[in-house]
Amino acid sequence: MPIVHDPVARCEDGWGSPVPDMPALEVEGLHFAYPDGHVALRGVSLRIHCGEKVALVGPNGAGKSTLLLHLNGLLNGGQGSVRVMGMPVTTPNLPLIRARVGLVFQNPDDQLFSPTVYEDVAFGPLHMGLPEEEVRRRVAQALEQVGMAHYADRFSYHLSVGEKKRIAIATVLSMQPDILVLDEPSAGLDPRARRGLINLLRALPITMLASTHDMLMVRELFPRMIIMDEGRVVADGPTAELLEQTELLEAHGLERL
């Protein structure tokens, strides 16, 4: 099946600014059940526009991670639709989709598998078939963005958890995605590393969706919050307003700050 989407559509205009009102991510009526019969998603619908930074919150088992894995086709087979930059997440489109959706796993060791930092960050661009000079440029730029410019020759397995998290983010930034998707980005970090990560994510000029239990980070970093529970979106709105709704938060396993 040919790809019908125009592959040059991006979240940024020619000057590096988000394109106004362009949907980066559209999920419509997404249902999904695992092979054992467990229903994880029950008609999830949401839309995220270019330039937004959005938190996805809810109790364990709400379906957050299952949703994230659908965004670049790591899970499929459910009902409903997912579109990235207007492009449907279908098998023929997966190479393009996975370049546009940068997914950062909770455990950075699931993402770092090469001997050196450079090789980890270069992996994606190399498999896109880019020339060596462009790969080097992208690696240098991605490491600069995460404050790890001098780590290219370091061994990934010798890094701290906080350093590994930054390198994991760099591995997807080197693909120049339109949307950065993070699963529990602050998990396992000490206070200094957590603060550094928050500052890093705030500074990144990219559309962002983060699944997290760190409500202090949500309040500080994400202007919009989506609450999921039992496979459904139960609330979606400005973070400051939703955090004031004590009954709503308690009903879905969240605490008011």
Kindly list the structural domains of the chain, giving each domain's residue range(s) and its CATH number in brackets, ordered by start: 23-251 (3.40.50.300)
Q: What is the pLDDT of residue 3?
A: 37
Tell me how crowded residue 9 is: count the other CB atoms within 10 A of its CB.
13
* Higher per-residue pLDDT: 114 or 10: 114
Confidence of residue 76 (pLDDT cuts 50, 70, 90): confident
Q: What is the pLDDT of residue 5?
A: 39
What average pLDDT does range 134-145 have in this prediction? 96
What average pLDDT does range 108-113 have in this prediction? 92
Q: What is the pLDDT of residue 22?
A: 86
d(CA 254, CA 26): 25
Q: What is the pLDDT of residue 21?
A: 75
* pTM, 2 dp: 0.91
Residue 94 in this model has a pLDDT that exceeds 70: yes
What average pLDDT does range 48-54 have in this prediction? 95
Confidence of residue 4 (pLDDT cuts 50, 70, 90): very low
Contacts by 114-117 with C-beta closer than 8 Å and gap 24+? 114/156, 115/155, 115/156, 116/152, 116/153, 116/154, 116/155, 116/156, 117/143, 117/148, 117/151, 117/152, 117/153, 117/154, 117/155, 117/156, 117/159, 117/167, 117/170
| 95 contacts 3 by C-beta, under 8 angstroms | no
Residue 210 in this model has a pLDDT that exceeds 60: yes
Residue 15 in this model has a pLDDT that exceeds 80: no
AA letter at 167:
I
Residue 6 in this model has a pLDDT that exceeds 70: no
Residue 255 in this model has a pLDDT that exceeds 90: no
Positive or negative, the CA dihedral 63, 66, 68, 70 is negative
* Higher per-residue pLDDT: 66 or 4: 66
Residue 9 in this model has a pLDDT that exceeds 90: no
Residue 2 in this model has a pLDDT that exceeds 50: no
What average pLDDT does range 220-227 have in this prediction? 97
Q: What is the pLDDT of residue 157?
A: 86
Residue 120 in this model has a pLDDT that exceeds 50: yes
